[in-house]
Homo-oligomer: A and B are copies of this chain.
Amino acid sequence: MEKMGNHWPCITCPIRNNRFCRSLLGASSQSDLTPRPRWQEFHRFPAGTTIISQDGSSDRIYVLCDGWAFRHLKLGTGRRQILNFLLSGDLFTSISVFYDKMHFSADALSDVRVSTFQRAAVMARLSNDSHLLSAARQICVDETLYAERLLSTLGQGTAEQRIAFLFLRIAEQLSRDNVITNHRYYFPLRLEHIADAVGLTTVHVSRVISSLRKRKVIDISQTHLTFLDPAMVERLASL
């Protein structure tokens, strides 16, 4: 992990897309020339490295500034379950706002920039700032709603439905930042990531995707995912 000074050029840092971070850093000052508070730090992680490793603890709250990452649980057998993918502006997990145990691992999928905040400083602000509090609650609610929908999908869905669900979820995350053009998304996931996220093998994911490709539902080529039939993707994803 490479730590960066407070004068790191943050012009493009999109964590202000996140209502929580916007409240935290002061809603009024949209200027990126404002000096960083002492309780905020920036870090950089190369693709493939570990940002947070399971079963540690930290007095800091992590937010992804830039790039792709994912959160996962390592299981005894060497397997892992990917819990979710993190995109720019995402808080790693809402419970980190008031809980110091890191029960999960987080890996960088691409080169990433991460912003961290001292938990104590954030908690102090939480009690005084009702906007910040409400933003934190909203993230917590959204995470729970998503977790329970994902649970239902893994419990009740076919391979095709699970994969469609994942793709749609990522599309929705990306659409927050308006990076959509013609239902075409930048998509750096390898089969391995899809497989570990939806509980299948890479081989089977490959087959399902080529079936979807043949049926003109989606297409994946050169790091981009295209929804050829967005309505069908939604139908599959909604069980």
Q: Which A residues have a C-beta under 8 Å from some C-beta of B?
A: 73, 75-77, 79-81, 83, 93-95, 98-99, 103-104, 137, 140-141, 143-145, 147-152, 154-156, 197-199, 238-239
Query: A83 vs B156: C-alpha distance in the bound complex, in angstroms?
Result: 12
- Partner of A73 from B104, B149, B154 at Cβ < 8 Å: B149
- 18 cross-chain CB contacts under 8 A: A73-B149, A73-B152, A77-B156, A79-B156, A79-B239, A81-B155, A93-B144, A95-B144, A103-B145, A103-B148, A140-B140, A147-B148, A147-B151, A150-B151, A151-B151, A151-B154, A154-B199, A155-B199
B103–A198 CB distance below 8 A = no
A95–B239 CB distance below 8 A = no
Q: Nearest CB to that of A74 among chain B residues?
A: B152
Query: A154 vs B79: C-alpha distance in the bound complex, in angstroms?
Result: 13
- When distances are taken between beta carbons in the complex, the residues of chain B under 8 Å from A198 are 155
7 tightest CB-CB pairs across the interface, nearest first? A155-B199, A81-B152, A154-B154, A75-B239, A81-B155, A147-B147, A73-B152
- When distances are taken between beta carbons in the complex, the residues of chain B under 8 Å from A141 are 95, 98-99
* Interface SS majority for chain A: helix
- When distances are taken between beta carbons in the complex, the residues of chain B under 8 Å from A98 are 137, 141
- Partner of A76 from B83, B103, B238 at Cβ < 8 Å: B238
Query: A9 vs B154: C-alpha distance in the bound complex, in angstroms?
Result: 43
- When distances are taken between beta carbons in the complex, the residues of chain B under 8 Å from A137 are 98-99
Nearest CB of chain B from residue A141's CB, rounded to whole Å: 5
- Partner of A144 from B143, B238, B239 at Cβ < 8 Å: B143
Q: Nearest CB to that of A98 among chain B residues?
A: B137
B144–A81 CB distance below 8 A = no
Question: By CB atoms of chain B within 10 A, which of A94, A95, A143, A197 has the most?
Answer: A95
Query: A141 vs B239: C-alpha distance in the bound complex, in angstroms?
Result: 28
Beyond A75-B239, A81-B155, A98-B137: 16 further Cβ-contacts under 8 Å? Answer: A73-B152, A76-B238, A77-B156, A80-B156, A81-B151, A93-B144, A94-B144, A99-B137, A104-B148, A140-B140, A144-B144, A144-B147, A147-B147, A151-B151, A154-B155, A155-B197
Nearest CB of chain B from residue A78's CB, rounded to whole Å: 10
Nearest CB of chain B from residue A121's CB, rounded to whole Å: 17
Beyond A75-B156, A154-B154, A155-B198, is A83–B148 a contact (Cβ under 8 Å)? yes
